[in-house]
Amino acid sequence: RATSEGQLPGAAAMGTGTPPSPSGTAFEETRLHVFTLDYPHVQIPFEITLWILLASLAKIGFHLYHKLPSIVPESCLLILVGLLLGGIIFGAEEKSPPVMNSDVFFLYLLPPIVLDAGYFMPTRLFFENFGTIFWYAVVGTLWNAIGIGISLYGICQISAFGLTDISLLQNLLFGSLISAVDPVAVLAVFENIHVNEQLYILVFGESLLNDAITVVLYNLFKSFCQMRTIKVIDIFAGIANFFIVGIGGVLIGILLGFVAAFTTRFTHKIRVIEPLFVFLYSYLSYITAEMFHLSGIMAITACAMTMNKYVEENVSQKSYTTIKYFMKMLSSVSETLIFIFMGVSTVGKNHEWNWAFVSFTLLFCLIWRALGVFVLTQIINVFRTIPLTFKDQFIIAYGGLRGAICFSLVFLLPPAVFPRKKLFITAVIVVIFFTVFIQGITIRPLVEFLDVKRSNKKQPAVSEEIYNRFFDHVKTGIEDVCGHWGHNFWRDKFKKFDNKYLRRLLIRENQPKSSIVSLYKKLEIKHAIEMAESGMISKVPSSVSLSDYHEGKIKPLSPTEMENMREILTKNLYQIRHRTMSYNRHSLAADASEKQAKEILIRRRHSLRESLRKTNSLSRDRPVLGSLWDFF
Amino acid sequence: QGSAPATSLLSLAVTSEQIEHLHRRFKQLSQDQLTIRKENFDSIPDLEFNPIRGKIVHAFFDKRNLRQESDGLAEEINFEDFLTIMSYFRPIEMNMDEEQLDRFRKEKLKFLFHMYDSDHDGKITLQEYRNVVEELLSGNPHLEKESARSIADGAMMEAASICVGQMGPDQVYEGITFEDFLKV
């Protein structure tokens, strides 16, 4: 295939002695090539595949020694692998290895990670803490950016360090790109330490929302650096730009999210490509936002959060599983690649070392972050129902990790305007390495030492759901009585609007959904599957008698057989009661007899059968269960 | 007219701003009378859609919540009683110590418990629990009553297993007492 169409076989072809001529009219023909090697033809996809394969193999390698990932987060190990690779390439070719292309990062590697995070974000917790998250993201990042910028400028003024040629604006730009907390790094580190959900959502939400302000500040200062004079109007333009970037991004995301939900309403005939729509629409929202220089991260997050609820009900169970796993796989690959590339790109000649600049950058990053979190928390605690303690504040400050986003942003700086670009690159790399390695490794022991509240992944229980719903209604009711338009009031209003208009429009078979009922059904189904798998059903009379029953050959039973059957049934009923942990059978009411208990059990099985019939995929996959229940 | 004695109110640790706001609201609800009755709650439009409306209104008149010695339901409540009920919903303050915090939490949970326990006998029986779940799910017209009952049964079993652990097949579980409620 490679040698057809007469392309160059020159250097690539092997096993031929005669160089063929381009025109083909030469007097020496080419012989048939028995074996050829044509690398340039497949170079790009080949290299991509090799990189991804290498990254995944590295991941397997880490988990072979099972204690390693719990001490050192994977991100560190991946960067080390990258460093090693970079060193090899550098040693072999004597030139700097391929730097991670910023386009590749922003257009291909970052979206899957943000999509995965946004799709599975606990929306309720996010909106409950939205004020705090927004406060930290916007004001916190501004505080950090300006603080770091100005203090670094102060340091640059000291002529002993040799930094006097870096202007205030350049320092401010540097401050703005290094102050952003990075979602990729936060995810990579927080994933293993399992702090309570509230803390996690605060740090992670901040890392997502601060993209808007980072984009604005970065572009603002970059343009300012290139402009001769700066007028007041430009500053106002900057502020206006912030609102447009943030709100515009979110609007694009929400719009495309609704379109995606609407599309999935009609996909019931072509289930196979349902997952594709989810990915296409989210990616579309990201690149549309990037096209207008709006915040792509906020767009894709908004799209994923909007889409989630409605798509989940429209697509089949299998499509949902596909979406979930494919998303996780993509984001995992992206994350691995990002860290390896960061390691690779570090090696090389892109550096300029200056003790003062680098060390003060690191110092100011830490100081301003800690100060910022402390001051901002004092202010926001006044407005919060559950105030944030010192422990929480410490973890929020310590969890402010920098990562690949500032790395890519620094590579995007135009060298003409920034003659000291290499210095910036070095400083950014030092800060990233410090936060990822030192903070990443030590945060786990610190969390344990400070006894921070951890997330408890317990079994979801129906009674818990009931209490939650009950209390929601109580809170909303009390807010109504007070005449207070609080959080619960707005959430309730949104729910009503959602039920009345949105769900009717976007969901195919719209039935009023109750979280209690769906949780109960889910648990019952899981319960039944567990029981079937644990072999309890096999204690029931053998399959021979089953097949007899099925074919209608019902022989009349003798009294002894009846007795046996009754005995088996009672014994098994008792064992079912005995072994099921959360659904222990007890006499519920004061006068419950054995009969009533059995009746309750049988009634529950009846409703389970109904729910089994309703979910198509389950009944398709487990016909055995259906017929067994029939027998029961 | 209508200004309650400040000293007893302060013991509820509600700020003066909040007291003013609630007082205005009280006057609105009571139509400038000194007391309100159950009928006055009908004038709140949004409360209509709340599935557990009955229980919420009932809670305001429940003598156990009003910290009165007797039992049963009050006919009407004045502003001080109104404030007493509202004070169950005030947020935790930073300067509370462990013991105060614990007492605070218990009070709030007791308020909830009284809402479940409608016959005032100190425990939540299966029938009362079923009643709660039915009310919660009353917004779904498609749901059969039987499903609501089976959900309540399942939840009750969960509670029993948490509170009493493994029980033999002949043991009877009376109902969830307040101690069990705390455990759950």
| Top-confidence residue, B161 or A569 | B161
Res A549 pLDDT > 60: no
For residues A17 and A372, the model is more confident at A372
DSSP letter assigned to residue A381: T
All residues of chain A having their beta carbon less than 8 Å from the beta carbon of residue B150 are 520, 600, 603-604, 607
Token pair for A594: 């054995």
Distance of residue A585 Cα from the nearest chain B Cα, in angstroms = 7
Number of domains forming the structure of chain B: 2
Please judge whether A585 and B140 are an interchain contact, meaning their C-beta atoms are less than 8 angstroms apart.
Answer: no
A391–B contact, CB cutoff 8 A: no
Both B16 and B43 in one domain: the answer is yes
What is the number of residues in chain B?
184
Taking the CA of residue A581 and the nearest CA in chain B, the distance in Å comes to 8
Judged by average pLDDT, the poorest of A337-341, A355-359, A443-447, A619-623 is: A619-623
The verdict on B107 and B122 lying in the same domain is no
- CB contact (8 A) between residue A483 and residue B28: yes
Continuous segment of H or E residues that includes residue A166:
none
**pLDDT over 90 at A111, yes or no:** yes
Instruction: Identify the pLDDT of residue A304.
Output: 93
User: In angstroms, rounded to a whole number, what is the distance separating the alpha carbons of residues A36 and A458?
Assistant: 59
CA distance B176 to chain A (A): 11
Q: How far is B7 from chain A (nearest CA, A)?
A: 22
Number of A–B residue contacts, CB under 8 Å? 141
Q: Inform me whether the C-beta atom of residue B160 falls under 8 Å from chain A C-beta atoms.
A: yes
- Among B116, B138, B173, give the residue marking a domain's end: B116
Q: Do the Cβ atoms of A592 and B172 come within 8 Å?
A: yes
Question: Which of B25, B155, B157 is opposite residue A482, by nearest beta carbon?
Answer: B25
CA distance A441 to chain B (A): 32
Partner B contacted by A542 (CB < 8 A): no
The CATH number of whichever domain residue B88 belongs to comes to 1.10.238.10
Q: Are residues B142 and B178 in the same domain?
A: yes
Q: From the CA of A197, how many Å to the nearest CA of chain B?
A: 20
Type of residue at A478: I
B81 with B166, same domain: the answer is no
Q: What is the mean pLDDT of residues A98-114?
A: 83
By Cβ distance, the residue of A387, A463, A517 closest to B155 is A463
Query: Which whole number is the average pLDDT over A505-509?
Result: 78
Hey, is the C-beta of B13 within 8 angstroms of any chain A C-beta? no
Residue A424, pLDDT above cutoff 70: yes
Structural tokens at position A79? 């960067």
Q: Are B154 and A462 in contact (CB under 8 A)?
A: yes
Nearest residue in chain A measured CA to CA from B88 = A478
Please give the C-alpha separations between residue A386 and each of A132, A399, B162, in angstroms, as whole numbers.
11, 20, 28
> Which residues in chain A are classed under CATH 1.20.1530?
102-450
Inter-CA distances, A324 with A74, A321, A460, Å? 22, 5, 20
Which chain B residues are Cβ-neighbours of A477 within 8 angstroms?
47, 50, 52-53, 56
Q: Please tell me the predicted confidence (pLDDT) of residue A471.
A: 83
Nearest to A480 among B46, B147, B174 (CB): B46
Contact A121, A331 (CB under 8 A): no
Q: Do B154 and A520 touch (CB under 8 A)?
A: yes
Instruction: Give the nearest chain A residue to B159 (CA atoms).
Output: A463
**Higher-pLDDT residue of A554, A241:** A241
Looking at B100, B116, B132, the residue that finishes a domain is B116
User: By the CB < 8 Å criterion, does B40 face chain A?
Assistant: no
Q: What is the model's pLDDT at position A580?
A: 38
- B180 interaction partners in chain A (CB closer than 8 Å): none
| Same domain as B51, residue B1 | yes
Give the minimum alpha-carbon distance from B57 to chain A in angstroms, rounded to a whole number: 9
Domain, as residue range, for B135: 118-184
Q: Give the integer Cα–Cα distance in Å for A411 and B40.
A: 67
Tokens of B69: 């010695």
CB contact under 8 A, A584 and B160: yes
Tens-place pLDDT, residues A352-382: 888 888 898 999 999 999 999 999 999 988 8
**pLDDT score at B145:** 75
B106 touches chain A (CB under 8 A): no
Q: Is B156 on the interface with A (CB under 8 A)?
A: yes
Q: What is the mean pLDDT of chain A?
A: 77
Is A390 an interface residue toward B (CB < 8 Å)?
no
Q: What is the mean pLDDT of residues A267-276?
A: 87
Q: Does A586 contact B174 at a Cβ distance shorter than 8 Å?
A: no
Q: What is the mean pLDDT of residues A293-302?
A: 90
CA A291 to centroid of chain Cα atoms: 23
Q: Which residues does chain A have within 8 Å of residue B160's beta carbon, measured at their own beta carbons?
A: 584, 586
> CA A613: distance to chain centroid?
34
pLDDT value, residue A280: 94
B56 — contact with chain A (CB < 8 Å)? yes
Examine the domain organization and report whether B25 and B104 are in the same domain.
yes
**Which CATH fold topology does A102-450 show?**
Na+/H+ antiporter like fold (1.20.1530)
B83 neighbors B65 (Cβ within 8 angstroms):
no
Chain B residue with CA closest to A496: the answer is B49
ipTM of the complex: 0.85
**Inter-residue contact B72 to B63 (CB < 8 Å):** yes
What the block records as the tokens of A561 is 């057989």
List the structure tokens of A266.
């009609």
* Residue contact B161–A607, C-beta within 8 A: no
Same structural domain, B103 and B129? no
Same domain, B9 and B95: yes
Q: Do B174 and A473 touch (CB under 8 A)?
A: no
For residues B91 and B135, membership in a common domain is answered with: no
Taking the CA of residue A391 and the nearest CA in chain B, the distance in Å comes to: 14
- What chain B residue is nearest to A600 in terms of C-alpha separation? B150
Cβ-contact B65, B84 below 8 angstroms: yes
- Which pLDDT value is given to residue A370? 93
Set of chain B residues whose Cβ sits within 8 Å of the Cβ of A496: 49
Q: Chain-centre distance of CA A457, in angstroms?
A: 18
Asked if the C-beta of B167 comes within 8 angstroms of chain A's C-beta atoms, the answer is yes
Render A553-613 in DSSP notation, one character per residue: --PPPPHHHHHHHHHHHHHHHHHHHHH-STT---B-STT--HHHHHHHHHHHHHHHHHHHH
Is the CA virtual torsion A11, A14, A15, A21 positive or negative? Answer: negative
Query: Does residue A459 carry a pLDDT above 80?
Result: no
Q: Do residue A600 and residue B89 have CB atoms under 8 angstroms apart?
A: no
Most confident among A385-394, A555-564, B117-126 (mean pLDDT)? A385-394
So what's the pLDDT on residue A583? 37
* Whether residue A608 has pLDDT greater than 60: no
Helices (H) and strands (E) in chain A, counts: 29, 0
Chain A segment 228-257 residues within 8 A of B by beta carbon are none
Give SS3 for A103. Answer: helix
| Token pair listed for A88 | 């090899």
Q: A560 CB near a chain B CB, below 8 Å?
A: no
Average pLDDT over residues A221-231: 79
* Nearest CA among A27, A199, A178 for reference residue A122: A199
What pLDDT sits at residue B168? Answer: 57
Q: Which of residues 74-93 of B touch A (CB under 8 A)?
A: 86, 89, 91-92
A587 in contact with chain B, both atoms CB, cutoff 8 A = yes
Contacts of A536 (CB under 8 A, 6+ apart): A572, A575, A576, A579
Query: Measured between CB atoms, does A485 come within 8 Å of chain B?
Result: no
What Rg value do the Cα atoms of chain B yield, rounded? Answer: 19
What CA dihedral angle connects A475, A476, A479 and A481, to 10 degrees? -110
Q: What is the pLDDT of residue A506?
A: 79
B95 at the A interface (CB within 8 A)?
no
**Same domain (yes/no): B77, B147:** no
What is the 3-state secondary structure of A230-264?
Answer: CCHHHHHHHHHHHHHHHHHHHHHHHHHHHHHHHHH
Kindly tell me if the per-residue pLDDT of A595 is higher than 70. Answer: no
Rounded distance, CA A410 to CA A317, Å?
Answer: 43
Longest dimension (CA), chain A: 107
The SS3 assignment for A347 reads: coil
Q: What is the mean pLDDT of residues B107-128?
A: 82
Residue numbers in B near A593 (CB within 8 A)? none
Tell whether B128 is within 8 A of chain A (Cβ). Answer: no
Highest mean pLDDT among A21-35, A274-288, A327-341, B38-52: A274-288
Interface test with A, best of B124, B147, B162 (most A CBs within 10 A): B147
At residue A252, the pLDDT reads 94
Q: What is the DSSP letter of B73?
A: B
Over 60: is that where the pLDDT of A330 sits?
Answer: yes
Q: Which residues in chain A have Cβ-Cβ distances shorter than 8 Å to B184?
A: 463
Q: Are B76 and B143 in a shared domain? A: no
**Does A488 contact chain B (CB < 8 Å)?**
no
Question: Between vectors from CA A431 to CA A298 and to CA A115, what angle results, nearest 5°?
Answer: 20
Contact B150 A607 (CB under 8 A): yes
Residues B63 and B130 reside in one and the same domain: no
The residues near A632 (Cβ < 8 Å, ≥ 6 apart) are: A540, A605
- Phi-psi category of residue A194: left, alpha or beta, with phi > 0 → left and psi -120 to 50 → alpha: left
User: How far is residue B15's CA from residue B90's CA, in Å, rounded to a whole number?
Assistant: 10
